[in-house]
């Protein structure tokens, strides 16, 4: 597949290529251009040219194009989802959810397009001011491989509705569905150059995009180390930034919770997308009085998960997306065993026999008796492994929940309103779910505190991150 610049397909100027592999089978499924700084420059030029006309369209006209694109995505959702599973690994049902989620996001922004308004400040004899929001110009978006379609929607929807143009860099292991969606958006009425997609590595495409002087904003989702580098580069150019850097979300289950519902929530919250979700349940805190039956039920459920190629019917969990990611998880479990940092209740190994041989499969894993301060609870566990801890009371649970560098999401499972209120007030995170975890529909602002990042995506709040205030002062 080719990259997209100025509404057209394009190879890289260097005619260099890189392969995309199926993480379930190891087979090469396509090749994409290995772009360079020169390709980024071409894309930024196309985006600058398109910006002049795109910003003059009314928000409603821009919204109608997003709406039309959403319709076209829905018509092709089965093919798009199969492509996503093939490059990313997730089960087809999850891929369908994600593609529909992309359409939902475009429809949400289309739906609020006619509500974009400014304000008027009356200053008596001095005059009147009209205050409005202006688009920033050319924006850059750098996205990861775990939810490449949804995260593309989180950036494309608000950026384009606000009147910006965009250069998007997909992750190297999952560029194909992003490219296909770019084509659908172009064919749905975007002016050529409003959305450009440049493929290639973080170093050869991502960094030149962040450094390009005409790019006014960078929105990045990925790991903390890359995020900090991007922050430093972007600050040198005084760019606006949004950083979504993952999390180590705690899930707290109190003794008045609906246990079966909470077990469902923990299994889905942890093992959806093979655990590779920024808001996945990454640490489970159980009230000690319900811990024994909870862990027993959870173990049964985890051991019954069907693992395999996401394109096969009735699969609950696919492979991990790439070898590096699986090695990271395997390394952490080896360390847990070697240092006696916990009891591996189930799982704890790579799957590499028979049908699993060529893929990046890892067993769904539960660890109990976790030693406080071990990497299982201090690092972001981006894979199908859940450390389970017990707590004597809410106060301890909240203290442990906050004992992290991150602050993306958290959930409290209880039927008590006062418990809910206290958890909401005291847990440091961008979103606190009650009797639920993971769900983020387009209306809901999303983003974290501390090392989870800067800024919010989703919801109408995201439009503020893609626009700036401009004032017309009328001296009568
Ligand atoms: P990265 O941060 O390396 O990758 C995310 C995106 O950034 C990719 O498009 C990548 O390109 C690009 N990139 C990499 N280096 C640079 C750079 N120097 N300048 C600009 N762009 C760059 O994440 P990983 O893929 O390495 O994932 C590792 C860890 O990140 C996970 O274990 C997890 O902890 C976290 N993560 C968090 C996510 C979240 O949703 N919060 C999502 C994914 C990962 P390329 O693909 O070409 O390397």
Q: Alpha carbon 101 to chain centroid distance? A: 12
Residue pair 128/476 in contact by the 8 Å Cβ criterion: yes
Mean pLDDT of 4-14: 97
Read off φ and ψ for residue 463, nearest 5 degrees.
Answer: -65, -30
Read off φ and ψ for residue 142, nearest 5 degrees.
Answer: -120, 120
Q: What local confidence, expressed as pLDDT, does residue 320 receive? A: 98
Q: Alpha carbon 366 to chain centroid distance? A: 24
Strand order, beta sheet including 453-454: 8-10, 3-5, 195-197, 165-169, 138-142, 215-221, 240-244, 453-454
Whether residue 349 lies in the annotated active site: no
Q: What local confidence, expressed as pLDDT, does residue 476 receive? A: 87
Q: What local confidence, expressed as pLDDT, does residue 354 receive? A: 86
Residue pair 52/193 in contact by the 8 Å Cβ criterion: no
Residue of minimum CA distance from atom 30 in ligand 1? 223
Mean pLDDT of 200-209: 98
Read off φ and ψ for residue 424, nearest 5 degrees.
Answer: -60, -45
**Rg (the chain; Cα; Å):** 23
Output 335-341 pairs: Cβ under 8 A, ≥24 positions apart.
335/374, 335/375, 336/367, 336/374, 336/376, 339/371, 339/374, 340/371, 341/370, 341/371, 341/374, 341/375, 341/376
Q: How far is the CA of 423 from the centre of ligand 1 (A)?
A: 31
pLDDT in tens, 215-227: 999 999 999 999 9
Angle between helices 92-111 and 77-88 (to 10 degrees): 120
Residue pair 377/248 in contact by the 8 Å Cβ criterion: yes
270, 218, 216, 264: which is closest to 247 by C-alpha? Answer: 270
Q: How far is the CA of 206 from the centre of ligand 1 (A)?
A: 10
Task: Find the catalytic residue in 107, 244, 380, 451.
Answer: 244
Task: Find the catalytic residue in 155, 169, 211, 239.
Answer: 155
Whether residue 288 lies in the annotated active site: no
Mean pLDDT of 166-189: 98
Nearest atom within ligand 1 for CA of residue 246: 41
The residue whose CB lies within 8 Å of the most ligand 1 atoms, and thus the one to mutate among 17, 169, 202, 384, is: 202
Whether residue 457 lies in the annotated active site: yes
- b/e 407-434 (16+ beta carbons within 10 angstroms → b): bbbbbbbbeeeebbebbeeebbbbbbbb
Q: Alpha carbon 379 to chain centroid distance? A: 18
pLDDT in tens, 404-459: 999 999 999 999 999 999 999 999 999 999 999 999 999 999 999 999 999 999 99
Enter the tokens of residue 458: 């989703």
Residue 310 CB partners (closer than 8 Å, separation 6+):
24, 85, 89, 90, 91, 92, 94, 95, 318, 319
Residue of minimum CA distance from atom 32 in ligand 1? 382
Residues within a 6 A CB radius of ligand 1: 142-146, 169, 171-172, 201-203, 206-207, 210, 221-223, 226, 229-230, 244-246, 278, 325, 328, 380, 382
Task: Find the catalytic residue in 278, 282, 380, 451.
Answer: 278
Whether residue 155 lies in the annotated active site: yes
Q: Please determine, for residue 471, whether its predicted confidence score (pLDDT) is greater than 90.
A: yes
**What proportion of the chain, given as a percentage, has pLDDT over 90?**
98
Q: What local confidence, expressed as pLDDT, does residue 61 receive? A: 97
Question: Model-level pTM?
Answer: 0.97
Residue of minimum CA distance from atom 15 in ligand 1? 202
Structural domains in the chain, CATH included, are: 3-246+450-474 (3.40.605.10), 250-434 (3.40.309.10)
Residue of minimum CA distance from atom 9 in ligand 1? 171
Q: Please determine, for residue 355, whether its predicted confidence score (pLDDT) is greater than 90.
A: no
Enter the tokens of residue 73: 């995505």
The residue whose CB lies within 8 Å of the most ligand 1 atoms, and thus the one to mutate among 199, 223, 243, is: 223
């Amino acid at each position: 597949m080719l990259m997209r610049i100025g509404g057209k397909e394009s190879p890289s100027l260097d005619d260099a290529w890189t392969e995309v592999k199926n993480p379930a089978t190891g087979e090469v499924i396509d090749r994409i251009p290995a772009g360079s700084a020169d390709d980024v420059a071409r894309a930024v030029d196309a985006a600058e040219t398109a910006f002049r006309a795109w910003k003059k369209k009314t928000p409603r006209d821009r919204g109608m194009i997003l709406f039309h694109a959403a319709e076209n995505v829905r018509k092709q959702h089965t093919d798009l989802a199969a492509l996503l599973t093939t490059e990313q690994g997730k089960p087809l049902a999850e891929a369908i959810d994600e593609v529909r989620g992309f359409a939902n996001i475009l429809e949400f922004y289309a739906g609020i397009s006619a509500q974009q308004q400014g304000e008027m400040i009356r200053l008596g004899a001095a005059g009147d001011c009209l205050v409005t929001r202006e688009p920033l110009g050319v924006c850059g978006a750098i996205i990861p491989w775990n939810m490449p379609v949804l995260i593309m929607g989180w950036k494309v929807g608000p950026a384009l509705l606000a009147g910006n143009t965009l250069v998007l860099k997909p992750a190297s292991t999952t560029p194909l569905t992003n490219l296909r969606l770019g084509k659908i958006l172009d064919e749905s009425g975007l002016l050529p150059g409003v959305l450009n997609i440049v493929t290639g590595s973080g170093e050869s495409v991502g960094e030149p995009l962040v450094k390009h002087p005409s790019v006014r904003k960078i929105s990045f989702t990925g790991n903390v180390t890359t995020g900090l580098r991007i922050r430093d580069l972007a600050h040198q150019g005084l760019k606006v930034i949004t950083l979504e850097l993952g999390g180590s979300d705690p899930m707290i289950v109190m003794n008045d919770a609906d246990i079966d519902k909470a077990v469902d929530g923990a299994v889905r919250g942890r093992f959806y997308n093979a655990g590779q979700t920024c808001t996945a349940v990454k640490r489970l805190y159980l009230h000690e009085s319900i811990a024994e039956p909870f862990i027993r039920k959870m173990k049964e459920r985890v051991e019954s998960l069907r693992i395999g190629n996401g394109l096969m019917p009735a699969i609950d969990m696919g492979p991990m997306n790439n070898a590096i990611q699986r090695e990271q998880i395997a390394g952490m479990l080896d360390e847990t065993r070697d240092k006696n940092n916990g009891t591996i209740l189930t799982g704890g190994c790579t799957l590499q026999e028979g049908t699993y041989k060529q893929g990046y499969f890892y067993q769904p894993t539960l660890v109990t008796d976790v030693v406080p301060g071990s990497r299982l609870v201090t690092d972001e566990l981006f894979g199908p492994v859940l450390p389970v801890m017990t707590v004597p009371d809410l106060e301890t649970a909240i203290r442990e929940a906050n004992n992290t560098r991150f602050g993306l999401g958290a959930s409290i499972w209880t039927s008590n309103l006062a418990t809910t209120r206290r958890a909401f007030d005291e847990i440091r995170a961008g979103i606190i779910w009650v009797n639920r975890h993971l769900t983020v529909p387009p209306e809901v602002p999303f983003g974290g505190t501390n090392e989870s990042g800067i800024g919010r995506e989703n919801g109408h709040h995201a439009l503020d991150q893609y626009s700036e205030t401009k004032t017309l002062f009328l001296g009568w």
